[in-house]
Amino acid sequence: MTTTEFVHDADCAAGSPATDPAAVPASAKTPRLVSIDAVRGLIMLFMAMDHVGLLIVRRHSAEYWGGLWTRYGGSDHVQFLIRLLSDLCAPGFFLWMGSGIALLAAQRASDGWSTPAITRFLALRGLLLIAIGQVIETPAWVIGLYGSASALTAEPVPGGGGAIYVDISVIFALGASMVLAGVLMAVVGRRSWLWLLLGVSLLAVSSALVPAASHAREVFSLWQRLLLVAGQTSLVLVEYPVLPWFALTCIGIALGQAMERQQTPRQRMSAVIGVGLICAALILRHTGAFGNIRLPRDDGWIEFFNLIKYPPSLVFSLLMVGGNLLLLSLFSGRNATQWKASRLLATFGRAPLFFYIAHLYLFALLGAMFFRQGTNYGTGVAIWASALFPLYAVCAWFGRLKRASPGTSILRML
């Protein structure tokens, strides 16, 4: 690892590869990996543009295992390309959270923390994420979606129909994955091959167990929804079932442990693996083999890349994890960490939870007040670009606030 890539900083919300500088001796501080922060920051900006589409433009995409699956027309190329780029974000969140868990656990263990202590820390952090998702995130979606004067979908989600009061979103799945990772630390430990095997197995099993699209109207039990089958049961909508997303966390832990041990540059390793995963995804998609969940509805390039996200198909996961690894290789170059763009993106990437909540409320309020009928993508892109300035300022402010807070404060946990 090159020392030019390292800066000291506080933990990020979703398990970044850093330790708490105030909680360990100065001599034992572990530096952050700027490359991961930069990748995370970039994919978060893609995500923000996608949310502009939903909350301001009032056009959005959905890719469920049954029922709701957006069909793009000839004039929808911009919408699809924004969606395709934003699809890097959720897999990236889980992958890099896993890497951060691995690096953080290794540092805490070297500082004398016991495995139960690390488990308690991760479990508490995960439960806090779940609470934030329900108490703080959900109202932003309520403001944004109920502030629309137009219908967003032509058909309900699988099992849907009727009111929804609980939304199991990405923050819930991140928190649950962190809790599970903490518990499994006591069993799997630092055996990266076992984490990788667990992650790959969960991806394959999850993809195999997803029902056929013809079962979309069935009402599955809440446990089936939470673990695997995205959709609505009673008053609960599950967008991010835990098992397939936790699989990416396991793969991220294996990657983080490899990073900790690897003395050769990460750029080559991440590029080779990334290209391999992308090639595997393209082959599976082209052949229509296992792992697609739903096959393309025509021969166009948009349908070829219009993959199932709820829950993530194996092809979707391979393609998006591969894309994240290629971005990591880009930001891991010898001079990449000195780029101004890397430093700017890393500011966003060091405060992912804060950015996520801030941008949701910003776009939800703007949409509810000024864009109830929606607008065009040109206006949406202009709003997105303009919003980056205040969002950067508040992320930088939050980072400084976190660094100045005691190691035991709630801000360090965030």
What are the backbone dihedrals phi and psi of residue 75, each rounded to the nearest 5 degrees, phi first?
A: -100, 10
| Cα 19 to Cα 186: distance, rounded to the nearest angstrom | 20
Q: In one letter, which amino acid is 264?
A: T
Q: Does pTM surpass 0.85?
A: yes
Closest to 98 (Cα-Cα) out of 317, 332, 285:
317
| Cα 170 to Cα 149: distance, rounded to the nearest angstrom | 25
β pairing state of 6-7 and 236-238: unpaired
Q: In one letter, which amino acid is 294?
A: R
Cis omega (within 30 of 0) for bond into 311: yes
Q: How far is CA 212 from the centre of its chain?
A: 26
The predicted structure's pLDDT at residue 395: 95
Query: Helices 89-110 and 34-52 meet at what angle, rounded to 10?
Result: 150
The predicted structure's pLDDT at residue 163: 83
Partners of 64 in beta bridges: 310
Which residues, given as ranges, of the chain have pLDDT below 70? 1-32, 150-155, 262-266, 334-338, 406-409, 411-414
Q: In one letter, which amino acid is 356?
A: Y
Q: What are the residue boundaries of the structural domains of the chain, listed by start?
A: 3-413
- CA distances to 158, 165, 214, 220, 372 from 153, rounded to whole Å, are 12, 18, 19, 22, 15
The predicted structure's pLDDT at residue 19: 35
Give CA angle at 128 (124, 132), nearest 5°.
175
For CA atoms 278, 254, 87, 308, the dihedral sign is positive
What are the backbone dihedrals phi and psi of residue 41, each rounded to the nearest 5 degrees, phi first?
A: -60, -40
Strand order in 236-238's β-sheet? 166-168, 236-238, 231-233
Say what the alpha-carbon torsion angle 243, 143, 372, 89 is, to the nearest 10 degrees.
Answer: -30
The predicted structure's pLDDT at residue 414: 66
